[in-house]
Amino acid sequence: MHTLALANPARVRGTVVEATEFPQWAEENAVYAVPRTVVRLGRGPSGAIEGAVSEDYLIRTLKNIIEQGR
């Protein structure tokens, strides 16, 4: 995910969270298996991606989330 932030650091933030240190944060984001990527547009959760996914799948999912957020 960090490569997405590098591609557009003004708009995209890529954060890796060690879930066991922040159990409440993980629970609030329904983290029952890892990796789980929560995508936020502005404030508030907007979508999530389960597991390690391909670049194509990731980009498609991001496009959908951005479209739904509009």
Q: Which helix (H) or strand (E) holds 56?
A: helix 55-68
Binding mask 4-43 for other proteins (x = CB under 8 A): xxxxxxxxxxxxxxxxxxx--xx--x-x--xxxxxxxxx-
Min CB(28)–other proteins separation in Å:
11
Task: Please state, in angstroms and rounded to a whole number, the distance separating the CA atoms of residues 12 and 31.
Answer: 21
Q: How far is CA 49 from the centre of its chain?
A: 7
Q: How far is the CB of 58 from other proteins (least distance, A)?
A: 8
Q: Kind and range of the H or E element at 25?
A: helix 23-28
Chain residues binding other proteins by CB under 8 A are: 1-22, 25-26, 29, 31, 34-42, 55-56, 59, 62-63, 66, 69
